[in-house]
Amino acid sequence: MRKFGNIDIIHKKPETGEQTMNDLEKYREQLALCDDKIIDALAERNGIAEKITAYKEEYGMPILQPRQEEKQRRRLEEKLEGSKYKKEILDVFDSIWKNGKRVQAKKLFPYNIVLIGFMGAGKSTVCEYLARMFAMKSVEMDQMIAGREQMSIPDIFETYGEEYFRNLETKLLVELQAESSLVISCGGGAALRERNVAEMKKNGRVVLLSASPEVIYSRVKDTDDRPVLKGRKSPEGIARLMEQRREKYEAAADIVIRTDNKSVPEICEEIVQRLTEMDE
Ligand code: S3P
């Protein structure tokens, strides 16, 4: 007998001790067999996912099919209706789906996707959507810089000046270049420095998102977080600054995508198509 606090614990062998241990071993073996089956099924599943991607590429079909994803989830939810483990199994499938997307992304984009363009061109929105569709990591440069400096972008500009902020952008781009399969949303001015563009291109493809000054204006008119737009917040002011930057943006871009009058999924599909065409 062993004392455990105030409780006496009696180590009593089960009546049919040997039999029980044998059963336990048997269950463990069965569990290991289940794991083996899961490994085989997952490997097979990844292989099929790769075939689907190759098929879509070969026949020029849209790579992004959010509706198909929803259909897949609904099918499983129905199948698991009434199952004691519905939540747990769906949880596992969330990881399986994410991994499937990652396999697809690694194959399609063995580099970083770097989004550049004027303020309000849709970089952040597109970045988030692309990252979700391919389970890639998204990096919002402005947010990361503000987080590191513990200061908003306007405050950084006001306290330390634009040059200081631009240097932080360069430093971050150098860091990110060491990673792969990121979707990076750059601040609107990041591509204006030659050095930055060189860092972007070391491990990335540069996608320029463009929009008309009117559309940009409608997107930024009610915000106050862009110091560069101070005194320029009108379609004309925006058009002038855009024109000043146009040459540098275009020189930096591997591909240019117009975003006017397009939905986010449409823009993302176009990006995917154009990027994959680059590898043909
Ligand atoms: C800037 C764009 C901003 C931000 C900063 C400077 C620019 O990023 O980096 O205010 O010079 O165009 P967004 O394009 O994400 O607004």
Chain segment 210-219, per-residue pLDDT in tens: 999 999 999 9
What integer is the mean pLDDT of 74-83? 97
Q: How confident is the model at residue 1 (pLDDT cuts 50, 70, 90)?
A: very low
Residue 258 covered by a domain: yes
Task: Say if residue 271 is exposed, middle or buried (CB neighbours under 10 Å; 0-12, 13-18, 19+).
Answer: buried
Among 114, 119, 193, say which to mutate for ligand 1: greatest number of ligand atoms within 8 Å of CB. Answer: 119
- Is residue 65 located within the same domain as residue 200? no
pLDDT number for residue 2: 47
pLDDT number for residue 109: 93
189 lines ligand 1 (CB under 6 A): yes
- What CATH number is associated with residue 270? 3.40.50.300
* Beta strands at 7-9 and 2-4: parallel, antiparallel or unpaired: antiparallel
Read off the amino acid at residue 239: A
pLDDT at 40 over 60: yes
- Is residue 161 located within the same domain as residue 72? no
- What CATH number is associated with residue 52? 1.20.59.10
- Is residue 128 located within the same domain as residue 258? yes
Provide the residue range defining the domain that includes 101.
16-107
Nearest of 59, 50, 116, 110 to residue 273 by alpha carbon:
59
pLDDT number for residue 12: 53
* Number of domains present in the structure of the chain: 2
Residue 227 CA: nearest ligand 1 atom is 10
Residue 3 covered by a domain: no
- The model's pTM: 0.85
169 lines ligand 1 (CB under 6 A): no
- Is residue 166 located within the same domain as residue 208? yes
Q: Which residue has the higher pLDDT, 246 or 50?
A: 246
227 lines ligand 1 (CB under 6 A): yes
What integer is the mean pLDDT of 160-181? 95
What integer is the mean pLDDT of 224-241? 93
- Is residue 125 located within the same domain as residue 77? no
d(CA 52, CA 210): 31
Residue 11 covered by a domain: no
Instruction: Tell me which of 75, 107, 139 is where a domain ends.
Output: 107
187 lines ligand 1 (CB under 6 A): yes
Centre of ligand 1 to C-alpha 154, Å, is: 10
Residue 140 CA: nearest ligand 1 atom is 15
- Is residue 102 located within the same domain as residue 114? no
Could you read off the pLDDT of 130-159 as tens digits, one per residue?
999 999 999 999 999 999 999 999 999 999
pLDDT number for residue 15: 56
226 lines ligand 1 (CB under 6 A): yes
Instruction: Tell me which of 76, 107, 138 is where a domain ends.
Output: 107
- Is residue 72 located within the same domain as residue 121? no
Q: Which residues contact 271 (CB under 8 A, 6 or more apart)?
A: 113, 126, 130, 207, 255, 257
Centre of ligand 1 to C-alpha 234, Å, is: 16
Residue ranges of alpha helices (H) inside 8-152 are: 17-58, 66-79, 86-108, 123-133, 141-149
Mean of all residue pLDDT scores within the chain? 92
Least confident of 95-104, 160-169, 200-209, 236-245: 95-104
Q: Say whether 138 sits in a helix, a strand or coil.
A: strand
